[in-house]
């Protein structure tokens, strides 16, 4: 095998391994909301954490029930309503949840993995990840114009170490101007609505859509695979930034945002330069419940997970990675640095509900301008590369406690002439013992190599 | 005989109209329950109602205004009692209540204010900003406050046609024409 071919195979194997081990962030819905609103998880979820149409309206309404002026659980007032009349001669009134609105999610996984190592040897392992992660959530509202959401995650690493991460810490400002729900802001660390809008994916909670979020263009010829740390330079799963979003005319959704760009590494936590990344998305939903919960002129079935609707949208992301060096080494051992000078992502999103079936997906194209610098800092090459990615997933409610999902995903790297496209198949089956306890079987297969696959048995509960 | 007939007609003419009542339910949407809506008969052309000499009572107890909503006839004096073992203040930010501020006083003491005009006055306590109450100073003495299930009962309303209104501290007001003939039912729905 030629060096190029061997390297391509190695990259392919590494990609497969990464593909099998990445996980997605947890979802934005928690039992704290069930307690505040004195309602079941199923009010907002098809099966947690996947939201039903009402749950999506709740999320886009800043974690408020559409049409609600008071929560079912009496809030602790921080100032009576009438203080608005004398503001600013008094602090503007608000309220907080009457108790600390916390919730806990626990995920335990029996992870079986089959893989091919560098030398082509087949290896298997079966790991009890009990727990794989524990999430502490907080969420609720402050008065009529603010909401908050936070998530602290503890996870255990394969080497036995543990790590704690702030996955979400965000403050929402809702309906500050104009018509209700038209102009909202959130600030903090959050999943940009480029991605949160794809949350239907979260019926399969262990198998993330890595081809969409973790492609790494850093590498020879514009990258060949997925980032090992899950970060990638694709569209970000999590950002630190500010996002404006809203729903107009019940069915139009938009979001625009600005955030920290690339740090010293794709998964970095600080901005590596003075530029900020920006993104935008616009959707329209035909049929079904309005995105703000409006049901005017719509006959909805009594089963709240069902509707007949079609939502379609476009999305775009622009990033600037100037100054963020990613060291590489060529086949001769020569080290150099690559910077993703500018990168653009553009895609289309669609989601179709037909009663018990929900089919959705994203197709995205990415362009990267990669600057290569020698060890002495001299610019040696500027090259532009393009890649494409898509996924399509179908979720089906067989019975309310029994739900299935099937997903195909594909990434065509710039160097596809040398390396096969990354293709994966995901099959999931979820059974809800209770509304807050579920078991899952999730199978993922690297379609390029039959012995690269995982089978996860997941037990997840939240309270 | 003619004299007797004339006397009978005059006697009937001078008798008050037969008193009925208005009852029903107010369905309040978007709030925890349907309590605290004030249902009242709006101004009646040609009719005025002198305010009562007896004062209405409003308590501050367990760091709450009790009741949350107190309807009175405009012109009524309300006595504000502090039943808590801590200081309370009562003031209103509303112009229709002259933006009164009665100061701060201890347990067991009372201060009074006369609601001269029709008004939906918010009551606040500077010492405890979370406290909130309301006085509804109304144009007629025909009013009632809904219970948690939304039911209300306005007694002794003379038969006739009226505009009946509903006011709620946080929801939009509603009204409808009601013809009272004995026991009369009128239901309302209010929302944000």
Reported ipTM: 0.71
For chain B, what is the mean pLDDT?
91
CA–chain centroid gap for B112, Å, is: 17
pLDDT grade for B11, boundaries at 50, 70 and 90: very low
Cβ burial of A160 (10 Å; 0-12, 13-18, 19+) is: exposed
- B30:A70 CB<8 A: yes
More confident residue, A152 or A29: A152
pLDDT tens-digit series, residues A305-341:
999 999 999 999 999 998 888 888 888 888 999 999 9
Task: Quote the pLDDT of residue B18.
Answer: 62
pLDDT tops 50 at residue B1: no
Identify from B28, B30, B36, B89 which residue to disrupt to test chain A contact, counting A C-beta atoms within 10 A and taking the largest count: B30
Residues of A in contact with B123 (CB under 8 A): 82
More confident residue, A15 or A141: A141
Identify from A36, A70, A80, A292 which residue to disrupt to test chain B contact, counting B C-beta atoms within 10 A and taking the largest count: A80
Say which residue the tokens 């037909």 belong to. Answer: A354
Mean pLDDT of A91-117: 91
- B129:A78 CB<8 A: yes
For the CA atoms of B147, B150, B156, B162, the dihedral, rounded to the nearest 10 degrees, stands at 140
H helix or E strand, kind and range, residue A111: strand A102-116
- Rounded (5°) CA angle A268-A269-A271: 90
- Strand intervals (E) in A143-181: 146-156, 162-173
Tally Cβ neighbours within 10 Å of residue A219: 20
Task: Quote the pLDDT of residue A202.
Answer: 76
- A70:B131 CB<8 A: no
Main-chain phi, psi angles of A316, to 5 degrees: -150, 150
Q: Which of A67, A77, A82 sits opposite B122 (nearest CB)?
A: A82
- B93:A86 CB<8 A: yes
Identify from A81, A82, A89 which residue to disrupt to test chain B contact, counting B C-beta atoms within 10 A and taking the largest count: A82
pLDDT tops 50 at residue A52: yes
More confident residue, A65 or A328: A328
**Interface contacts A/B by beta carbons within 8 Å:** 51
* Cα R_g (chain B), whole angstroms: 19
Task: Quote the pLDDT of residue A20.
Answer: 40
Task: Quote the pLDDT of residue A13.
Answer: 41
Mean pLDDT of A66-90: 83
Residues of B in contact with A70 (CB under 8 A): 30-32, 170
Q: Which residue in chain A has the smallest CA separation from B169?
A: A81
Say which residue the tokens 């990669």 belong to. Answer: A370
Q: Which residue in chain A has the smallest CA separation from B127?
A: A79
Task: Quote the pLDDT of residue A19.
Answer: 41
DSSP of B5-31: HHHHHHHHHHSPPPEEEEEEEEEE-SS
Residues of A in contact with B93 (CB under 8 A): 82-83, 85-86
Mean pLDDT of A426-433: 95
pLDDT grade for A7, boundaries at 50, 70 and 90: very low
Task: Quote the pLDDT of residue A87.
Answer: 93
Task: Quote the pLDDT of residue A200.
Answer: 62
Mean pLDDT of A381-392: 93
Q: pTM score > 0.90 for this model? A: no
Q: Which of B30, B124, B171 sits opposite A80 (nearest CB)?
A: B124
pLDDT tens-digit series, residues A113-154:
999 877 889 999 999 989 989 999 999 988 888 999 999 999
Alpha-carbon span A116 to A4, nearest angstrom: 19
Residues of B in contact with A90 (CB under 8 A): 129
**For residue A29, which of A16, A19, A39 has the smallest C-alpha distance?**
A39
For chain A, what is the mean pLDDT?
85
Main-chain phi, psi angles of B164, to 5 degrees: -105, 130
Task: Quote the pLDDT of residue A331.
Answer: 81
pLDDT grade for A220, boundaries at 50, 70 and 90: confident
Residues of B in contact with A83 (CB under 8 A): 93, 124, 129
Say which residue the tokens 């979260």 belong to. Answer: A202
A14-41 as b/e, with b when 16 or more CB fall inside 10 Å?
ebbbbbbbbbbbbbbbbbbbbbbbeeeb
pLDDT tens-digit series, residues A178-188:
777 899 999 99
Task: Quote the pLDDT of residue A10.
Answer: 41
The alpha-carbon gap from A300 to the nearest alpha carbon of chain B, in Å, equals 20
Mean pLDDT of B119-129: 92
pLDDT tops 70 at residue A31: yes
Q: Which residue in chain B has the smallest CA separation from A74?
A: B32
Give me the long-range contacts of A11-14 (CB less than 8 A, separation at least 24).
Answer: A11/A219, A11/A224, A11/A225, A11/A419, A12/A224, A12/A225, A12/A419, A12/A420, A12/A448, A12/A449, A13/A115, A13/A116, A13/A117, A13/A118, A13/A449, A13/A452, A14/A225, A14/A228
H helix or E strand, kind and range, residue A3: helix A3-21
Residues of A in contact with B119 (CB under 8 A): none
pLDDT tops 60 at residue A347: yes
Which residues, including other chains, have CB under 8 Å from residue B45's CB and lie 6 or more apart? Answer: none
Residues of B in contact with A92 (CB under 8 A): none
Please confirm whether the linkage preceding A137 is cis (ω < 30° from 0).
no
Alpha-carbon span A132 to A137, nearest angstrom: 16
pLDDT grade for A208, boundaries at 50, 70 and 90: confident
Q: Which of B94, B131, B192 sits opposite A69 (nearest CB)?
A: B192
Task: Quote the pLDDT of residue A189.
Answer: 93
Reduced DSSP (H G I as helix, E B as strand, rest coil) percent helix, strand, coil of chain B, to 5: 10, 50, 45
Task: Quote the pLDDT of residue A378.
Answer: 93
Mean pLDDT of A168-175: 93
H helix or E strand, kind and range, residue A21: helix A3-21
pLDDT tops 60 at residue B10: no
More confident residue, B68 or A67: B68
Task: Quote the pLDDT of residue A265.
Answer: 58
pLDDT tops 50 at residue A24: no
- Rounded (5°) CA angle A170-A351-A141: 25
Task: Quote the pLDDT of residue B169.
Answer: 95
Residues on chain B bordering chain A, Cβ-to-Cβ distance under 8 angstroms: 29-32, 92-94, 122-124, 129-132, 169-171, 191-192
The answer to whether A433 touches A439, Cβ cutoff 8 Å, is yes
Alpha-carbon span B174 to B26, nearest angstrom: 10
Tally Cβ neighbours within 10 Å of residue B117: 13
Residues of B in contact with A74 (CB under 8 A): 32
Residues of A in contact with B124 (CB under 8 A): 80, 82-83
Which residues, including other chains, have CB under 8 Å from residue B58's CB and lie 6 or more apart? Answer: B65, B66, B67, B70, B78, B79, B80, B81, B123, B133, B135
Task: Quote the pLDDT of residue A74.
Answer: 78
Task: Quote the pLDDT of residue A272.
Answer: 78
Task: Quote the pLDDT of residue A301.
Answer: 83
Of all residues in chain A, what percent carry a pLDDT higher than 90? Answer: 51
- B122:A69 CB<8 A: no
Task: Quote the pLDDT of residue A176.
Answer: 82
What's the per-residue H, E or C state across A128-147? EEEEEEEEEEEEEEECCCEE
Alpha-carbon span A323 to A29, nearest angstrom: 37
H helix or E strand, kind and range, residue A444: strand A437-446
pLDDT tens-digit series, residues A233-283:
888 888 899 999 999 999 999 999 999 988 765 556 678 788 899 999 999
- A70:B122 CB<8 A: no
Alpha-carbon span A381 to A374, nearest angstrom: 9
Q: Which residue in chain A has the smallest CA separation from B172?
A: A69
**For residue A247, which of A395, A391, A64 has the smallest C-alpha distance?**
A64
Task: Quote the pLDDT of residue B70.
Answer: 98
Distance, first Cα to last Cα, chain B? 63
- A77:B171 CB<8 A: no
């Amino acid at each position: 095998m030629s060096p190029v071919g061997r390297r391509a195979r190695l990259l392919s194997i590494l990609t497969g391994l990464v593909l099998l081990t990445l996980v997605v962030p947890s979802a934005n819905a928690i039992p704290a909301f069930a307690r505040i609103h004195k309602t079941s998880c199923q009010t907002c979820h098809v099966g947690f954490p996947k939201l039903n149409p009402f749950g999506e309206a709740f999320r886009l309404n800043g974690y408020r029930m559409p049409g609600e002026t008071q929560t079912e659980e009496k809030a602790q007032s921080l100032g009576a309503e009438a203080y608005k009349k004398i503001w600013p001669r008094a602090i503007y009134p608000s309220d907080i949840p009457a108790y600390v609105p916390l919730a806990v999610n626990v995920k335990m996984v029996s992870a079986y993995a089959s893989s091919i190592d560098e030398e082509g040897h087949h290896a298997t392992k079966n790991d009890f990840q009990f727990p794989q992660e524990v999430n502490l959530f907080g969420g609720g509202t402050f008065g009529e114009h603010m909401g908050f959401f936070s998530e602290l995650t503890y996870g255990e690493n394969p080497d036995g170490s543990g790590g704690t991460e702030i996955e979400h810490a965000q403050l929402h400002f809702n309906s500050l101007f104009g018509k209700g729900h038209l102009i909202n802001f959130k600030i903090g660390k959050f999943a940009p609505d480029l991605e949160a809008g794809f949350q239907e994916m979260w019926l399969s909670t262990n198998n993330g859509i890595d081809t969409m979020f973790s492609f790494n263009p850093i590498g020879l010829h514009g990258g060949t695979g997925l980032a090992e740390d899950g970060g990638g330079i694709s569209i970000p799963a999590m950002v630190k930034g500010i996002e404006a979003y809203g729903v107009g005319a019940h069915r139009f959704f938009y979001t625009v945002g600005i955030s920290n760009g690339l740090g010293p590494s794709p998964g970095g936590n600080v901005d590596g330069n003075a530029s900020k990344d920006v993104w935008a998305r616009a959707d329209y939903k035909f049929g079904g419940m309005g995105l703000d919960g409006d049901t005017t002129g719509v006959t909805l079935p009594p089963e709240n997970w069902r509707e007949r609707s079609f939502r379609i949208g476009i999305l775009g992301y622009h990033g600037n990675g100037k100054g963020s060096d990613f060291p590489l080494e060529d086949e001769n051992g020569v080290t150099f640095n690559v910077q993703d000078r500018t990168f653009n992502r553009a895609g289309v999103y669609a989601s179709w509900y037909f009663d018990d079936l929900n089919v959705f997906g994203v197709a995205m194209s990415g362009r990267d301008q990669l600057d290569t610098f020698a060890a002495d800092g001299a610019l040696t090459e500027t090259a532009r590369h393009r890649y494409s990615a898509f996924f399509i997933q179908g979720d089906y409610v067989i019975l309310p406690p029994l739900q299935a999902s099937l997903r195909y995903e594909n990434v065509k790297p710039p160097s596809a002439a040398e390396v096969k496209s990354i293709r994966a198949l995901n099959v999931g089956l979820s059974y809800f013992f209770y509304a807050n306890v579920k078991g899952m079987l999730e199978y993922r297969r690297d379609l390029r190599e039959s012995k690269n696959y995982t089978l996860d048995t997941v037990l997840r509960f939240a309270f | 005989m003619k004299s007797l007939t004339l006397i009978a007609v005059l006697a009937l003419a001078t008798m008050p109209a037969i008193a009925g009542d208005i009852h029903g339910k107010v369905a309040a949407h978007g709030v925890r329950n349907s309590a605290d809506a004030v249902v009242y008969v709006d101004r009646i052309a040609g009719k005025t109602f002198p305010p009562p000499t007896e004062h209405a009572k409003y308590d501050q107890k367990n760091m709450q205004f009790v009741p949350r909503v107190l309807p009175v006839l405009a012109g009524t004096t309300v006595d504000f009692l502090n039943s808590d073992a801590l200081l309370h203040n009562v003031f209103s930010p509303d112009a229709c209540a002259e933006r009164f501020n009665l100061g701060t006083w201890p347990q067991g003491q009372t201060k009074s204010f006369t609601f001269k005009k029709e008004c939906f006055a918010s009551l606040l306590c500077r010492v405890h900003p979370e406290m909130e109450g309301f006085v509804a100073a109304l144009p007629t003495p025909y009013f009632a406050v809904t219970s948690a299930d939304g039911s209300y009962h306005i007694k002794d309303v003379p038969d006739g046609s009226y505009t009946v209104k509903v006011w709620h501290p946080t929801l939009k007001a509603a009204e409808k024409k009601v013809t009272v003939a004995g026991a009369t039912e009128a239901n309302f729905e209010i929302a944000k």
